[in-house]
Amino acid sequence: MSSRADRLAERLAERELDLMVATNLVNVRYLSGYTGSNGAAIVGPDLRVFFTDFRYVEQAAEQVPDFERVKGERDLLGDVAQRLRGRVGFEDGSMTVRAFERLRGLIDDEVELVAAGNLVEDLRAVKEREEIEAIRAAAQLADTALAAVLERGLAGRTERAVAFDLESEMRRLGAEEPSFPSIVASGPNGALPHAEPTDGEIPRGVLVTIDWGARLDGYCSDCTRTYATGDLNGEAAEVYETVRRAQASSSDAVRAGAGGKAVDAVSRDIIGDAGHGDHYGHGLGHGVGMEIHEQPRLAPTSEDTLEAGMVVTVEPGIYVPGELGVRIEDLVVVTDDGREVLSGLPKELQTV
């Protein structure tokens, strides 16, 4: 884990920061390896300090060997404040206003707190090899779980029953938890991108969108497939094919150096040309890692540029209000010479 703190320390100089204090537990875990629920870390060019309270002292001794370890009070800010000096970056995206005010009251006058933006999140966006392997394993587990659920069919079961089945299957296969609440949305419910599964029975002859993921070894997967439960009307099949083409073309556009806005535009042009521009209201994709939504973003407003090692979703969709929805989502790794798709399930329209 020390190499991550080293990389952060290098970035501090670029931002004219002396230290960075991490209190967001995801960032603390990323930097230090600590998985407990109370911890903080300070990183500087020559400083690696980790703070936790007595409950986690033994755990930290095992997980955080590369940091000086401090046993503090339950509220760690007082202990953290004592070690701050100079210009100190803090996580303005996640620190609460209350914690910020409290920290400001605890530091002495020579310490300046500076909003660090996405300093650690930007590091997290470019994955190490082991992180990609963890995400790959999570994606494979999720694929296996859905395949098992589909064997039991979709039509005649409720959306909630299918979602529950899928989540228990993921846990049975060893997932820590689903990486987010599973979406199972049939017929008109599919027109809601973030539909919650209902107690309604899934009928025959409709589309069913399933968006699910597993968390394994601290890393998330994210995938969406849309299935038919019988013969579809012409529009549904046509919408499906449009989304499939948009997904394939924008996935092919993922490569190092490509802009998040440009890759998004590939999908948006295809869907727009098919007359569904107004039915595609969300961005094409997002980074995935320790959290389900991370940097970078693939979207019309994105200013991110893809780099080798980033893991992003490619998930265009068409949502026709009151009628139907289709989304197809893959997890894609940006590689040195292109991309690798981690989601293994077929994308041709399948009838379940």
Q: How many residues bind Zn ion (CB under 5 A)?
A: 5
Is 222 among the residues that bind Zn ion (CB under 5 A)? yes
The least distance separating Zn ion from the CB of residue 213, rounded to whole angstroms, comes to 6
Nearer to Zn ion, 52 or 224 (CB): 224
Taking CB under 5 A as the criterion, which residues in 54-113 touch Zn ion?
A: none
Nearer to Zn ion, 69 or 244 (CB): 244
The least distance separating Zn ion from the CB of residue 212, rounded to whole angstroms, comes to 7
Nearer to Zn ion, 224 or 251 (CB): 224
Is 211 among the residues that bind Zn ion (CB under 5 A)? yes
Nearer to Zn ion, 224 or 267 (CB): 224
Is 294 among the residues that bind Zn ion (CB under 5 A)? no
Taking CB under 5 A as the rule, which mask of x and - marks residues 306-345 in contact with Zn ion?
A: -------x---------------x----------------
Quote the distance between the C-alpha of residue 100 and its chain's center: 26
Is 264 among the residues that bind Zn ion (CB under 5 A)? no
Nearer to Zn ion, 72 or 287 (CB): 287
Nearer to Zn ion, 32 or 226 (CB): 226
Is 209 among the residues that bind Zn ion (CB under 5 A)? no
The least distance separating Zn ion from the CB of residue 189, rounded to whole angstroms, comes to 16
The least distance separating Zn ion from the CB of residue 315, rounded to whole angstroms, comes to 5
**Residue ranges that bind Zn ion, judged by CB under 5 A:** 211, 222, 224, 313, 329
